[in-house]
């Protein structure tokens, strides 16, 4: 008997990029780190971003701010057709709905209007592992970091593993 197949990163449709985001939060220190990775339809890294934020006090705010960072980074790199995925169901639901929202969600929605096409999707942690690794990366130091067409080694290895499942041998 086999269980359900594991969730994996899925490639975006033609002409889109997939933007995955995640965050790490230390409540006692009121600090968070955002990890964002952008990949094309072949799974190649188009950009990666890690940012530290101080004086933040809730897990929801941390994930909402990570979504905002993902949107802004994608716009700055000039992508117009994006699928934005994160593993915070509450943030994705708020981004996708018309219900009352926080300032972070409002700002994320406002900035997302800069895309030609944009959708928000929830993905479980297994489908968001590269962004999770980036948010938890301690080898990149305390400063905000940007990578273009590359990422830290652990993230590169995860992206290569994800590509292997796009077109298995």
Does residue 6 sit within a domain?
no
**Residue ranges of the chain whose pLDDT lies below 50:** 1
pTM for the full model? 0.83
1 part of a folded domain: no
pLDDT at 137: 86
DSSP states of 54-123: ES---HHHHHHHHHHHHHHHHHHTT--EEEEEES-HHHHHHHHS-S---HHHHHHHHHHTTSSEEEEEE-
Report how many domains make up the chain: 1
- Residues spanned by the domain of 71: 17-157
Asked if residue 169 belongs to a domain, the reply is no
Residue 30 lies in a domain: yes
- Tell me whether residue 23 is in a domain: yes
| pLDDT-above-70 percentage for the chain | 93
- Domain CATH code at residue 30: 3.30.420.10
């Amino acid at each position: 008997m086999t269980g359900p197949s594991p969730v994996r990163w899925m490639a975006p449709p033609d002409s889109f990029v997939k933007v995955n985001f995640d965050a790490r939060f230390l409540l006692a220190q009121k600090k968070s780190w955002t990890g964002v990775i952008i990949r094309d339809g072949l799974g190649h890294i188009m950009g990666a971003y890690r940012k530290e934020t101080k004086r933040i006090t809730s897990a929801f705010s941390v994930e909402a701010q990570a979504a905002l960072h993902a949107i802004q980074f994608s716009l700055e790199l000039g992508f117009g057709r994006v699928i934005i995925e994160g593993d915070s169901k509450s943030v994705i639901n708020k981004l996708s709905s018309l219900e009352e929202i926080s300032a972070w969600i409002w700002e994320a929605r406002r900035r997302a209007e800069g895309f030609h096409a944009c959708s928000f999707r929830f993905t479980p942690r297994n489908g968001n592992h590269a962004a999770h690794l980036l948010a938890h990366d301690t080898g990149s130091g305390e400063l905000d970091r940007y990578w273009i067409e590359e990422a830290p080694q652990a993230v590169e290895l995860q992206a290569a593993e994800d590509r292997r499942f796009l077109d298995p041998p």
